[in-house]
Amino acid sequence: MDQDVELSIVAGSFVARSGREADLAGVLAKYVVVTRNAPGCRNVDLAASIATPGRFLVIEKWDAADAQASHLDSAEMVEMAKAASGMLTGPPDLDLFAAISAHDLR
């Protein structure tokens, strides 16, 4: 891994309204595929909770915080937010993380 890379990690937890789990999974899956092609994106993963049905986790890795910040204003992000509107029990829980021991295969 390039020592000059400032890895930025974002995690978002999304909880679907009852009966909307599959719909939300579809919206998030599309977002993940599209986001993987965004400038500065190293990887994006989507996971579903085993302990809490309807809870999804999106983990994004970016080359730098400014690449991730630019993505927040992107058309893909706006489209995902609009598509998920009405499917969530509340706002997503988003957090930014500094890499301590993060690794990807790129």
Long-range contacts of 36-41 (CB under 8 A, 24+ apart): 38/67, 38/71, 38/74, 38/76, 39/67, 39/70, 40/64, 40/66, 40/67, 40/68, 40/70, 40/71, 41/67, 41/71
pTM of the complete model: 0.86
More confident residue, 3 or 75: 75
Confidence of residue 65 (pLDDT cuts 50, 70, 90): confident
Tell me how far apart the alpha carbons of residues 37 and 92 are, in angstroms, rounded to a whole number. 23
Looking at CATH, the fold of the domain delimited by 11-98 is given as Alpha-Beta Plaits (3.30.70)
| Residue 99 binned pLDDT confidence (cut-offs 50, 70, 90) | confident
- pLDDT per residue over 1-60, tens digit each? 445 557 889 999 999 999 999 999 999 999 999 999 999 999 999 999 999 999 999 999
